[in-house]
């Protein structure tokens, strides 16, 4: 029996990109040696995206859609699609052709027919720097390096959400019940082997990215906070180092005063120290606050998304 691959496509304001995307996806799907179902997830778009999704579903077989009640963010949209997946494998890809559909067959092959000795339960693509904006690439390299160091979870620089997972991996992923999700980290945390496939960075086919630089920074910070308590430990270490330095300085000041009788010098350095300590305390208080807010949000146990409508393709006679 042929395998079924569920292809999940989160969409947020993608009215321009969707028709171009589907045309290319359909061409690649027809070449795959397996059956497919495509699940479009509309993540509360403000444009005609839900209408276009419904039109596509009415015109073509093997398509389904999930419409969320508002914008919950890409992670939630991906989760909504993955929960709907019925396939033996599930793939997630962007709707803007930055995840080239031709790599679906490469990823499927990597998981289905791995070389001797490899047992991947998932295959994922990572962008090589070629074609990427230099600043964006540097920034994401920085975030990824920090992430790997702070969280202890190692994902390649340029790792994307473009991924194909086996049913075993998918079921494990869905059994993780935290609502604040960073899927790249969670898939890595599961521990099953992932085959990483390089591809050249592609530009968006139409429309605009919904990420701003500050949004990306926030996403990176969220990712670190959801995976590790190392920032708190660094805070404690900084506190310990500061106390030791302060003690050494105090002894030095006492000795200096006794020997040279010079008690009033050093106001500028004192000012800098107070500023530094005040800043550090506020910074780490803020970090603790972020952890507490995460605990607060998790204890509410709200669902990560709310579904407004689901539907499937009209069957052709």
Contact positions toward Mg ion, by CB under 5 A?
94, 96, 98
Which lies closer to ligand UDP via its Cβ, residue 12 or residue 199?
12
Of 145, 291, 294, nearest in space to 229 by CA:
291
Near ligand UDP by CB under 6 A: residue from 11, 29, 153, 155: 11
**Residue 310 in contact with ligand UDP, rule: CB under 6 A:** no
Of 119, 76, 95, nearest in space to 38 by CA:
95
**Residue 98 in contact with ligand UDP, rule: CB under 6 A:** yes
Near ligand UDP by CB under 6 A: residue from 210, 244, 257, 269: 210
Side by side, which strands form the sheet with 63-68?
194-200, 122-128, 159-166, 89-92, 4-11, 35-42, 63-68, 307-312
Q: One symbol per residue from 232 to 251: x for binding ligand UDP (CB under 6 A), - otherwise; what is it?
A: --------------------
**Residue 94 in contact with ligand UDP, rule: CB under 6 A:** yes
Residue 5: half-sphere exposure toward Cβ, Cα within 13 Å: 25
CA 306 to CA 149: how far, in whole Å? 34
CB of 86 to Mg ion, least distance (A): 26
Whether 306 and 186 have beta carbons less than 8 Å apart is answered as: no
Reported in sequence order, the residue ranges of 96-251 that DSSP labels E, i.e. its strands, are 122-128, 159-166, 194-200
**Residue 211 in contact with ligand UDP, rule: CB under 6 A:** yes
Which lies closer to ligand UDP via its Cβ, residue 108 or residue 162?
162
CA 39 to CA 210: how far, in whole Å? 21
Stretch of 82-90, 123-131, 209-217, 265-273 lying at the interface with ligand UDP (CB under 6 A)? 209-217
Binding footprint of ligand UDP, residue count (CB under 6 A)? 16
Given the rule CB under 6 A, which residues bind ligand UDP? Answer: 10-12, 14, 43, 71, 73-74, 77, 94-96, 98, 209-211
């Amino acid at each position: 029996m042929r395998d079924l691959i569920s292809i999940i496509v989160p969409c947020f304001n993608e009215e321009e990109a969707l028709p171009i995307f589907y045309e290319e996806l359909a061409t690649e799907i027809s070449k795959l040696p397996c059956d497919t179902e495509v699940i479009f997830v509309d993540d509360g778009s403000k444009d005609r995206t839900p209408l276009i999704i419904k039109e596509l579903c009415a015109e073509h077989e093997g398509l389904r859609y999930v419409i969320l009640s508002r914008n919950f963010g890409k992670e939630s949209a991906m989760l909504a699609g993955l929960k709907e997946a019925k396939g033996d494998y599930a793939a997630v890809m962007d709707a803007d052709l930055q995840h080239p559909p031709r790599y679906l067959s490469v990823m499927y092959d990597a998981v289905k027919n791995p070389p001797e000795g490899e047992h991947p339960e998932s295959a994922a693509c990572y962008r090589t720097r070629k074609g990427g904006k230099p600043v964006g690439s540097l920034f994401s390299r920085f975030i990824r390096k920090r992430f790997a160091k702070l969280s202890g979870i190692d994902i390649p620089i340029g790792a994307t959400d473009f991924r194909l997972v086996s049913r075993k991996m998918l079921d494990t992923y869905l059994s993780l019940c935290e609502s604040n999700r960073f899927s790249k980290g969670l898939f890595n945390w599961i521990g099953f082997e992932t085959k990483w496939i390089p591809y050249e960075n592609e530009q968006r086919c139409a429309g605009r990215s919904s990420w701003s630089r500050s949004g990306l920074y926030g996403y990176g910070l969220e990712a670190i906070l959801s995976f590790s308590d190392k920032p708190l430990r660094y805070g404690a270490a900084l506190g310990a180092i500061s106390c030791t330095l302060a003690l050494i300085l105090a002894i030095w000041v006492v000795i200096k005063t006794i020997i040279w009788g010079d008690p009033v010098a050093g106001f500028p350095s004192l000012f800098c120290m107070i500023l530094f300590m005040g800043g550090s305390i506020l910074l780490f208080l803020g970090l603790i606050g972020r952890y507490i807010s995460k605990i607060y949000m998790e204890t509410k146990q709200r669902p990560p998304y709310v579904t407004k409508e689901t539907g499937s393709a009209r069957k052709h006679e």
